[in-house]
Amino acid sequence: MALMTGAQYIESLKKLNTKVYLFGEEVKDWVDHPMIRPSINCLAMTFELAHDPEYADLMTAKSNLTGKTVNRFTHLHQSSGDLVKKVKMQRLLGQKTASCFQRCVGMDAFNAVYSTTFEIDKKYGTEYHERFKKYVEYVQENDLVVDGAMTDPKGDRGAAPSQQTDPDMFLRIVEKRPDGIVVRGAKCHQTGSINSHEHLIMPTIAMTEADKEYAVSFAIQSDVPGIFMVYGRQSCDTRKLEENADIDLGNKTFGGQEALVVFDDVFIPNDRIFMCEEYDFAGMLVERFAGYHRQSYGGCKVGVGDVIIGAAALAADYNGAHKASHIKDKLIEMTHLNETLYCCGIACSAEGYPTQAGNYQIDLLLANVCKQNVTRFPYEIVRLAEDIAGGLMVTMPSQKDFESDLKVGQTGKTIGEWCNKLYAAAPGVSTENRMRILRFLENICLGSSAVGYRTESLHGAGSPQAQRIMIARQGNINQKKELAKVIAGIKE
């Protein structure tokens, strides 16, 4: 089974015994839970589009390990062209779901771990790279969803892992056995973790020898003993539990998902361990994963941005304001900002280069510039969308009010009749359609989908300061000084 369908993917999740908790209780039938299912639908789209001949070139690739056609989300990049196709694929999926489709972190983790294990083996004579190649073959053959898990709870941000009052603030090795290791701790803010078959764990920061028990990378199934997940709340998420709230949901079909993944003394067999106390390579792995993931934002957020721009333009049409010059200018500015993000994603991909392991790495400086822009531009795009939509986006009555047949007032009209009458706008536009596009914008700008767009644009793949540190490191100021000296005739 090289390429699963969306239906097969959903059925495969039902076979897992993943421990999921929500609102303080275990969720047994989590695949069909109304708060969780939209995020599963998003992931299913990554499988469905791979079977569409129109998108096969973007959604699939030829494996360098087996020569078989595989889903691009399981692929090891073999050229700068592969890196470009990755960004284009992510934009496509953003356009199709208007949400976070969650599979990028695993793809980015594959490529970072692949090249890093090669260099660990080169220095220490370990066997991590061959182990990892076999693992990737397994993932590709079964078309699995893998959660790329890097972020630890971190505890006191001013203290290193080994200096924490509670040692479990970073995932760590608590026991070493002849056949494997036992780990304890957690990974938090984990995108798509509940909806994944597997988890690929990585350290979250560069480390010293004192932190070596935290320098660990491994793969593990979602339902092994000792792993459980606590689902993360999102704004307006309980609307999904309401009856007759189809319009109120905004994006009723798709959504993102984050969770706290706890490892309560979990055993990891040797063949699934890819770093074990090689602390001097933790920083390399973090830097490479972060670079790939910051590249990703030049695709996925742009695709969602395309939908926001379209929704804002529709809102202007339905409000009867589409001919106003300031509305046209705002849509131009939104497009300009969105395409600038795309330019950054394509640029860092086109400037990619081969690692020692043979897979392709993006230009790290440009990837960090891409993500730095993503921490800013989506906020302005959302602000402009809210400006165009108008205040009704956040003050309108519920769908039940629009459909209510309760008679009120002196004329005998129902609540529904009054709402539909008074919230009408442009001629020929149904009140329902106007409400739908405004609720959609509310959802994507402020509600559940904002997790996969606005706020996640700021903190996903590292905080803005993390990118600025990398830009300073990669910017090569000294070289620029020398360029200026030569032209200015300065000799020292």
Same domain, 18 and 86: yes
Q: Residue 83 domain-assigned? A: yes
Among candidate residues 9, 77, 100, 119, the one labeled active-site is: 100
Residue 355 assigned ligand-binding role: no
Q: Are residues 263 and 351 in the same domain?
A: no
pLDDT in tens, 50-62: 999 999 999 999 9
Outline where DSSP puts E strands in 284-413.
Answer: 353-354, 360-361
**pLDDT at res. 193:** 97
If one counts the domains in the chain, the total is 2
Considering the domain boundaries, does residue 491 fall inside one? no
Q: Which of 124-133, 334-343, 452-461 has the lowest mean pLDDT?
A: 452-461
Which of 116, 191, 204, 375 is flagged as catalytic? 191
pLDDT classification of 2: cutoffs 50, 70, 90 = confident
Average pLDDT over residues 437-449: 91
167 lies in the same domain as 206 = yes
Q: In what order do the strands lie in the sheet with 20-22?
A: 25-26, 20-22, 227-231, 259-269, 180-187, 172-177
Tokens representing 430? Answer: 């149904």
Q: Which two tokens stand for residue 197?
A: 């078959």
Alpha-carbon dihedral of residues 229, 232, 238, 243, nearest 10 degrees? -40
Residue 87 lies in a domain: yes
275 and 331 co-located in one domain: no
Domain coverage including residue 91: 11-286
Point out the catalytic residue in the list 42, 188, 276, 300.
300
Confirm whether 370 is a catalytic residue. Answer: no
Q: Of 241, 260, 286, which one is at a domain's C-terminal end?
A: 286
Q: Is the pLDDT of residue 456 over 90?
A: no
Measuring CA to CA, how many Å separate 391 from each of 6, 218, 382, 394, 396?
Answer: 38, 49, 14, 6, 9
135 belongs to the catalytic site: no
Catalytic residue among 104, 188, 344, 370: 104
User: 301 and 253 in one domain?
Assistant: no
Residue 452 pLDDT class (50, 70, 90 cuts): confident
> Of 75, 189, 197, 293, which one is the catalytic site residue?
293
What proportions of the chain, in percent to the nearest 5, are helix, strand and coil?
Answer: 55, 15, 30
H or E stretch covering 87: helix 80-97
| Residue 300 designated active-site | yes
Determine whether 333 is an active site residue.
no
Q: Which of 9, 135, 231, 297 is catalytic?
A: 297
- Report pLDDT for 1: 61
* 236 CB burial (10 A radius; 0-12, 13-18, 19+): middle
What CATH number does residue 312 fall under?
A: 1.20.140.10
pLDDT (tens digit, 9 = 90+) per residue, 355-396? 999 999 999 999 999 999 999 999 999 999 999 999 999 999
Any bridge partners for residue 276, and if so which?
216
Is 489 inside a domain boundary?
A: no
In a domain? residue 190: yes
Which one from 48, 119, 213, 258 is the annotated catalytic residue?
258
Q: Is 100 a catalytic residue?
A: yes
For residues 134 and 164, state if they share a domain.
yes
Contacts 24+ apart (CB under 8 A), 425-431: 425/318, 425/319, 425/320, 426/317, 426/318, 426/319, 426/320, 427/320, 429/317, 429/318, 431/402
Claim to verify: residue 370 and residue 277 sit in the same structural domain: no
What would the pLDDT profile of 389-410 be if each residue is shown by its tens digit?
A: 999 999 999 999 999 999 999 9
- Same structural domain, 277 and 313: no
250, 271, 286 - which closes a domain = 286
pLDDT tens digits, 61-107 = 999 999 999 999 999 999 999 999 999 999 999 999 999 999 999 99
Instruction: Give the global pTM.
Output: 0.96
Residue range 160-173, pLDDT digits in tens: 999 999 999 999 99
Average pLDDT over residues 4-24: 98
Of 286, 302, 327, the last residue of a domain is: 286
Q: Catalytic residue at 293?
A: yes
* Separation of alpha carbons 345 and 363, rounded Å: 10
User: If we measure between CA atoms, which residue out of 328, 338, 337 comes closest to residue 306?
Assistant: 338
Residue entry with tokens 């097969």:
8
CATH code at 218?
Answer: 2.40.110.10
Please name the helix (run of DSSP H) or strand (run of DSSP E) that holds residue 176, with its range, or none.
Answer: strand 172-177
26 is catalytic: no
Q: Are residues 325 and 254 in the same domain?
A: no
Q: Which two tokens stand for residue 245?
A: 């709230």
Would residue 6 count as lying in a domain? no
For residue 19, give the nearest of 263, 255, 185 by alpha carbon: 263
**Do 333 and 266 fall into the same domain?**
no
The region that residue 362 occupies, defined by phi over 0 for left and psi between -120 and 50 for alpha, beta otherwise, is: beta
Rounded to an integer, the average pLDDT of 33-41 is 97
- What is the tens place of the pLDDT at every residue in 189-233? 999 999 999 999 999 999 999 999 999 999 999 999 999 999 999
Whether residue 338 is found in the same domain as residue 217: no
Q: Is residue 268 part of a domain?
A: yes
**Residue 469: band (very low, low, confident or very high) from pLDDT cuts 50, 70, 90:** very high
Active site residue 297: yes
In the numeric block, the tokens 């300009």 are attached to 336
Are 261 and 317 contained in the same domain? Answer: no
Residue 225, in any domain of the structure: yes
